[in-house]
Amino acid sequence: MSPQVIHVPVQTPHLSHEPVADAAGNWVDRYAPPAWRPYLRLSRADRPIGTWLLLLPCWWAVGLAMIVDQPRWVDLWIVVACAIGAVVMRGAGCTWNDITDREFDGSVARTRSRPLPSGQVTLTGAVIWLVVQCLVGLAVLLTLNAAAIWLGVASLALVAIYPFAKRFTWWPQVFLGLAFNWGALLAFAAHTGGLHPAAILMYVAGILWTLFYDTVYAHQDVEDDVLIGVKSTARLFGADTPRWLAGFAAGSVVLLAAAAAVAGPDGVLARLAVTAAAVGFAAHLAWQLRLFDMHDDAVLLRLFRSNRDAGLIVALFLGIAGLA
């Protein structure tokens, strides 16, 4: 039987300038107005890597759509809209996650200082902040075409389910992957008005990439997860994690290359660019595998954050291929 959650009484509210234990020294702590800091922390604005990992599949898809179709001026707005949407919807997702996990977070030393369990933000305040972020995201979504709008609405089901996944499955990273890479389908449809086999292949490649990087991240929390009784692929794989990571990395690279091939790059420069995207991505994931150490939290966090660069490699070269 899984250990029971330890219910920790709400602490005396922290001052808004007091940082979260595992994210101190960031721009929010240094520069944001004190009254805003608890809400920015609730949205994980103090940890931008999550926004990057939500945004990059969207940018991959814009490059892929330009290969399938052709570049259009609207692509500039799609790129910007995806960036704005990634910021606010990642923030909304984190806010929802903290609302649903407030009792778990209060039971773990690393997360006890987060805005809700520490009392920096009330539950009512968190719900209002969630609604505000969702409304901004909706306003951006409504500037895109009908296919993208419907895909955006459909994504809410995945976002709603994800925080609960770790309570009923050993594979919550799959649910994260489904949600975090949905933007690839949305951005592709925003350009073309529909989907294409290449976009589906890219979506699955992104899910495998998420399984890769979030399993790395989850190894930091294995001991706490055991204590509070939540599941993860890190706990499931244990000492066999390197083999699983290698499989996820290989699958992601192969599917990414297949997506680019199915898109049909035309011309020498475009073909070279999509090859560089796959090779560069593969090399970065191989480097991560070489450094992976499940017992070193500093290394795990460094590798997790480095996936921004892995994703940017793909975005850059697919963009070149699309414009070639």
pLDDT tens digit sequence for 244-284: 999 999 999 999 999 999 999 999 999 999 999 999 999 99
State which amino acid sits at residue 229.
G
CB atoms within 10 A of CB 246: 15
Q: Are 269 and 320 in contact (CB under 8 A)?
A: yes
Per-chain mean pLDDT for the chain: 90
User: How far apart are alpha carbons 300 and 223 in whole angstroms?
Assistant: 14
9 is written with which tokens?
């009484």
pLDDT reading at 34 higher than 50:
yes
DSSP labels for 232-285?
-HHHHHGGGHHHHHHHHHHHHHHHHHHHHHHH---SHHHHHHHHHHHHHHHHHH
State the residue for tokens 């989907």: 195
CATH number of 41-323: 1.10.357.140
Cα angle 68-69-75, degrees, rounded to a multiple of 5: 110
Secondary element (H or E) of residue 130: helix 123-141
Q: Are 185 and 195 in contact (CB under 8 A)?
A: yes
State which amino acid sits at residue 268.
V
Q: Are 16 and 120 in contact (CB under 8 A)?
A: yes
Name which residue leads in pLDDT, 176 or 18: 176
Query: Over the Cα atoms of the chain, what is R_g?
Result: 20
pLDDT reading at 17 higher than 80:
no
CA dihedral over 177, 183, 189, 192, signed as positive or negative: negative
User: How far apart are alpha carbons 140 and 190 in whole angstroms?
Assistant: 12
The distance in angstroms from the start CA to the end CA of the chain is: 57
User: How far apart are alpha carbons 152 and 251 in whole angstroms?
Assistant: 26
**Residue 76, C-beta contacts closer than 8 angstroms, at least 6 positions apart:** none
Q: Are 245 and 303 in contact (CB under 8 A)?
A: no
Q: What is the pLDDT of residue 115?
A: 86
pLDDT reading at 122 higher than 50:
yes
Judged by DSSP in three states, 294 sits in: coil
CB atoms within 10 A of CB 136: 17
Name which residue leads in pLDDT, 306 or 116: 306
CB atoms within 10 A of CB 143: 16
* Per-residue pLDDT reduced to its tens digit, 134-159: 999 999 999 999 999 999 999 999 99
Task: State the pTM of this model.
Answer: 0.90
State which amino acid sits at residue 170.
W
User: How far apart are alpha carbons 64 and 315 in whole angstroms?
Assistant: 9
Q: Are 291 and 39 in contact (CB under 8 A)?
A: no
User: How far apart are alpha carbons 117 and 103 in whole angstroms?
Assistant: 7
* Per-residue pLDDT reduced to its tens digit, 52-107: 999 999 999 999 999 999 999 999 999 999 999 999 999 999 999 889 888 776 66
